[in-house]
Amino acid sequence: MSDHTTLPNTGAVIAVRGSVVDVRFDTRLPPIYALLHADGGRVVIEVLSQLDAQRVRGIALTPTQGLARGMAVEDTGGPLMAPVGAGILARMFDVFGNAIDREPAPADVQWRTVHRDPPALARRSTKSEIFETGIKVIDVLVPLERGGKAGLFGGAGVGKTVLLTEMIHNMIGHQEGVSIFCGIGERCREGEELYRDMKEAGVLPHMVMVFGQMNEPPGSRFRVGHAALTMAEYFRDDEHRDVLLLIDNIFRFIQAGMEVSGLMGQMPSRLGYQPTMGTELSRLEERIANTDAGAITSIQAVYVPADDLTDPAAVHTFSHLSASIVLSRKRASEGLYPAVDLLQSSSKMATPGIVGERHYQLAQEIRRTLAQYEDLKDVIAMLGLEQLSADDRKVVGRARRLERFLTQPFFTTEQFSGIKGRLVSLSDSLDGCERILRDEFKDVPERALYMIGAVDEVKS
């Protein structure tokens, strides 16, 4: 029995279809999630199913060029592991935990499996606290929850990544936590730009970055989120620190799962998505939680296919979130940045019990004013502003000033816009909105409120 466990368990490749590899083992079958090495460790395969008593089917986490039938495969005896420890801070990793920032490998790290269970219900914390971002439109209308999950929904090119980087910039400034940035299936240049920006902003020492880029095989993009979560759980459970987990982009995780599922030969469900999409997403999302040890607050960008919020990928992601920030192409085209759709975005935190009575009433009044303006737009388009009653004209003036006031210059876009970035406290944001609703600025031109910080900047 003893030499049975010490001898390497080897098998042979019997079929290669793209990223899917079938391997035959004569002595013993490796368990599900076991990692196999082929071609001298150049090809890494994760076992996803046992076909019969001799054969397993796995997905390759690396390119399979050069892999041929009959090649020897070795069972590593364990699952995919991620490095954890103080040594991973300020570093950049791939899905295997290899450093990809041209620095030597970190020394003082332990390795943990990426397949971990979510925290037990009894250990979860249920108190609700607000997480301030310094971005007016988010703090006023879509307040984020400490230890909650927020989604940034938007089609291509409406500013999801810019908003994410701005939040990293603002948050590391005023909190002692750790940020973990997980890039799933994003462009390589975005990873490189983010690394450089974070270095220049001086926030890299509190940050870990994990990337599974667009050009990598689906197996690797599918697992990179789990690797990042394992690191986040270490800082929460072992170091009792608050963690900010940024995922860009959760849709690419679903997409990688869809590719894996198709390659494994599962029947697709609606719109070609994998039948196991709900389970796969939950397995990732349920690990992001508040416990008695600390909180993992997560902000996730969600690409919305064809701007259609009823797409199954968007619908499944919505159900996990405590705040949904919807970005609109129309607002982006009007130059109103951040291009948040003020009526579609919502947060479970925006209740009087959590944000307080004044904030709640103000937010409701802002929504009402904007919704009335939305209804009046058709009338204005057909008959002109002059045909509206005096009251309606006031509503339009307030709404247009609110829209301008809720824009904000970002620190991360200074080099493009030439406008200095602003961080605005929640009290200043509420104060500004309240004064606009009270018609204090009705004689000020609308553009004076555009791209400013606190409302007092108007006077100057």
Query: Catalytic residues, which ones?
Result: 160, 186-187
Q: Under a CB-based contact definition with an 8 Å cutoff, are residues 59 and 264 in contact?
A: yes
* Distance from C-alpha of 149 to C-alpha of 319, rounded to nearest angstrom: 10
C-alpha triplet 408, 409, 413: angle, nearest 5°? 140
Number of Cβ within 10 Å of residue 326's Cβ equals 23
Q: Under a CB-based contact definition with an 8 Å cutoff, are residues 147 and 290 in contact?
A: yes
**C-alpha 48: how far from its chain's center?**
26
Burial class of residue 92 (count of CB atoms within 10 Å of its CB; 0-12, 13-18, 19+): buried
Q: Residue 246 pairs with which residues in a beta bridge?
A: 181, 299
User: Which two three-digit tokens encode residue 330?
Assistant: 């129309």
Q: What are phi and psi of 354, to 5 degrees?
A: -105, -50
* Distance from C-alpha of 266 to C-alpha of 57, rounded to nearest angstrom: 13
Phi-psi region of 247 (alpha: psi -120 to 50; beta: other; left: phi over 0): beta
Helix, strand, or coil (residue 245): strand
Q: Could you check whether the bond before residue 338 is cis, i.e. omega within 30 degrees of 0?
A: yes
Query: What number of residues does the chain have?
Result: 460
Name the residue among 322, 326, 321 with its Cα closest to residue 309.
Answer: 326
* Distance from C-alpha of 263 to C-alpha of 251, rounded to nearest angstrom: 18
Q: Under a CB-based contact definition with an 8 Å cutoff, are residues 196 and 227 in contact?
A: no
* Distance from C-alpha of 181 to C-alpha of 211, rounded to nearest angstrom: 8
